Amino acid sequence: MFGYVGTLLRIDLTNRKIAKEPLDLGAAAKFIGGRGLGTAILAREIDPKVDALSPANKLILATGPLTGTAAPTGGRYMVVTKSPLTGTVASANSGGFWGAELKNAGYDAVILEGKASSPVYLSIADGEVKLEDASGLWGSLVGKTTDSLVAKHGEKARVLCIGPAGEKLSLLASVMNDKDRAAGRSGVGAVMGSKNLKAVVVRGTGSVAVKDPEALKAAVKDCLAKIKANGVTGSGLPTYGTAVLVNIINENGVLPTDNFQRSYDPKAEAISGETLAEKFLKKREACYRCPIGCGRYCETDGIEGGGPEYETIWAFGSDCGVSDLSAIVKANYWCNEYGLDTISAGATLAAAMELKQRGLVPAAAAPGLEFGNAAAVVEWTKKMGALEGFGADLAAGSARLCEKYGAPELSMTVKRQEIPAYDPRGIQGHGLQYATSNRGGCHVRGYLISPEILALPEKLDRLSLEGKAAWAKAFQDLTACIDSLGLCLFTSFAMGADDYARLLNAVCGTEHTGATINLSGDRIWNLERGFNLAAGIAPSEDRLPKRLLEDPIPDGPSKGWTHKLDVLLPQYYELRGWSKEGLPTKAKLSALGLE
C-alpha cells in the first residue's frame, strides 16, 4: 500500500475499547483522505441531527495520503466532527508535526467516539495504544499539558490537546498541537472536551511507503522551484509571515475595522507584518516539510510563543480598534494557552464592544471592553478562555452573544461562525465564498483573495461580478482536495491542480489529472452540503450579515460598496448543478457517485 498506511484506530471512550480497522480503500479513492475521507466516515457513522456535544457525536483525526511524505508542506491533518458552534460539518485544519507523526505511527486516522467517565488521554506509540488517566492534567493550559506529556513519553513525542476552553465546552475552543498550531475553527475543541479527552500523544518510528520514489523526487523538485519563484511563497510569507497582508488589505480598503463599521484603518502600519518583524519577531518557524516557513515566534514583556497570524492581528487589532501590537501578541498567546480560535475570539470581542457602544451591554458587566482599549483585549481574552463572568457569554461566540443582548445584526457571522479579516463588500468573489462556505464564515474554504487582491494565478477586478461564481466554485473544489491530500493551502499560490495530481500519482500510483483532482473536490463539497442539509442547515443560510449587504463602506478605497450576493448566488447554484433553491439535484449527485 502506498501513501496510505492502511489502518484506522477506533477508540470507544465510553467502554475504553481500542480497535484497529483496515482503511476502506474504496472510500479513500473516492474522497482522497483528510477532510474528504473524514467527512465520509462522519456522514456514514452519525446522525447529522445529533447534539454536537453529546457522546453520539464523533471526533475524527484524519491525515491525507501525502501527509508524512516528502511532498512540500506534507504535514497537515484535519479534525472532523459536527460543529457545536454552527451545527454544520466541521473540518478544522492544522499543521506542525503531529499529523506526520500519526502516519509514521501507522495510522491514517483516529475515530474517537463516546465519552470517558473521567478525564483521559490517548497514547499512541507505534502499535502500542493506551488510554491513560488525565485527571492531573485537567485544567492545565496547553503549554503545561504539552510539556508534561513530552516529559513522560519522550522528547520525540508529539502532543495534540485542548486547553481549559475546550474542557469547559466553549464553542470557540480549538484543538492545539505542538503548543501553538491550531485546528482552530468551528468549536472542535469543545467536542473533544465533551468526551473528557484531554490529549492524544503520538510517537511513530515508521514511514510512509511511496509507489515511485524517483517520480516523487522529480515532482517535489519542480514544485519547490515554483514555490521559491512565487512572490508570495518565495518572499512575502517567509519574510513577514501571513501578516504581510495587513498593509496590502488595508490599502485596498477592505480591512474590517471596529466590527466592520469601517473598512480602512489609518493606524494599520502599527500592526503590520513589517512592524511585527522589526519589534517582536524572535525567529521564523516552519511546519513539517514546509519550504515556506511563514510561522512567527514572537516575544513581548516576557511572553513568547508561536504567532500571531494575519487573521489574529486583524481580529484583536483593527476589528477591535486596537493598534498596540504588543497587546495583540499577548492576546494570541493566551488564545494558544487556553485553546481558543483567535479569529472568533477577537471578532466576538469586537461585537461585544459595539454592543457596549450602543448601550446594550451594561458597563459594569464588561469594564474596559471598548474599541481601542488594548489592555482590555488581553484581559477579556483570558476571561473568555476561563469562561469567567461575562467571559462565559463571549465564549459562546458573537452570534449567541448578540442574540442574547438584543442585536443579532451586530454579529458578523455566516452560519454562526465569525467571518475573517476581509470585508466582502470590496471583494465580491471572496464574499460569495463566505456566504456559501460549508462550515460557516471562513477564508480557507476557497481563497479568492489570491486572484482578487494578489493577482494569482491572474488579476481579477475585485469589484466586478463577472465570472466570480465560477472562480468561487473552482477555488472551493481545489481547496477541498488540498485539505484532503494533507498539504497546506499556501502551496496553491504557486501550484495548480496538475501539480497536486502529479504528487499524488507518484506517491500512490494513481492516474489522476488536474481535472479528476477538481472532480474529487466537487464530490467532497457536495458530500459536505448533503450532511449540512440533513443536519437542518437550510440554503437560506447562504447569507452575509445584513450590514454587508445593505450598508455601504463609509470611507477609504472601497467607499460606497455593498456586497451583491443577490446577483452572484443564483449563478453559483447553477454552476454547482444545484436547484434554484440551492439543493444538489439527483443528476448531480449521481454524476459524483453520491447517490
Q: Is the pLDDT of residue 330 over 90?
A: yes
The side-by-side arrangement of strands in the sheet containing 158-161 is: 128-133, 120-125, 197-203, 158-161, 175-177, 181-183
Digit-coded pLDDT (tens) for 94-106:
999 999 999 999 9
Average pLDDT over residues 277-304: 96
Non-local CB neighbours of 392 within 8 Å, separated by 6+ positions? none
Residue 293 is predicted with a pLDDT of: 95
Q: Is the pLDDT of residue 595 over 90?
A: no
DSSP H helices in 242-339: 245-251, 273-279, 310-316, 325-338
Domains 7-203 and 424-591 share a fold: no
Average pLDDT over residues 438-461: 96
Q: Is the pLDDT of residue 112 over 90?
A: yes
Please report where in the chains the cell 485537567 appears, as a residue.
138
Angle between helices 514-535 and 34-45 (to 10 degrees): 30
Cis bond upstream, residue 72 (ω within 30): no
Q: Is the pLDDT of residue 379 over 90?
A: yes
Q: Is 396 helix (H, G, I), strand (E, B) or coil?
A: coil
Q: What mean pLDDT value characterizes the chain?
A: 97
Q: Which of 392, 403, 407, 423 is nearest to 172 (CA)?
A: 392
DSSP 410: G
In the chain, domain spans: 7-203, 242-411, 424-591
Average pLDDT over residues 569-588: 97
Cis bond upstream, residue 308 (ω within 30): yes
Residues 424-591, CATH architecture: Orthogonal Bundle (1.10)
Q: Is the pLDDT of residue 240 over 90?
A: yes
Residue 136 is predicted with a pLDDT of: 97
DSSP H helices in 363-397: 374-386, 391-394
Q: Is the pLDDT of residue 383 over 90?
A: yes
Query: CA 96 to CA 184: how far, in whole Å?
Result: 13
Query: CA 80 to CA 407: how far, in whole Å?
Result: 31
Query: CA 322 to CA 369: how far, in whole Å?
Result: 12
Beta bridge partner(s), residue 553: none
Residue 557 is predicted with a pLDDT of: 96
Average pLDDT over residues 4-10: 98
Residue 353 is predicted with a pLDDT of: 98
User: What beta strand segments (E) does 23-72 contain?
Assistant: 58-63
Class of the CATH-defined domain 242-411: mainly alpha
Residue 12 is predicted with a pLDDT of: 98
Q: What is the DSSP string of 3-34?
A: SS--EEEEEETTTTEEEEEE--HHHHHHH-SH
End-to-end CA distance of the chain: 28
Cα dihedral sign for 509, 511, 512, 513? positive
**Confidence label for 215 from pLDDT (cuts 50, 70 and 90):** very high
- Amino acid at the residue 483: D
Please report where in the chains the cell 455593498 appears, as a residue.
562
Q: Which three cell numbers stand for residue 227?
A: 514555490
DSSP H helices in 230-317: 231, 237-240, 245-251, 273-279, 310-316
Q: Is the pLDDT of residue 200 over 90?
A: yes
Class of the CATH-defined domain 7-203: alpha beta
Q: Is the pLDDT of residue 168 over 90?
A: yes
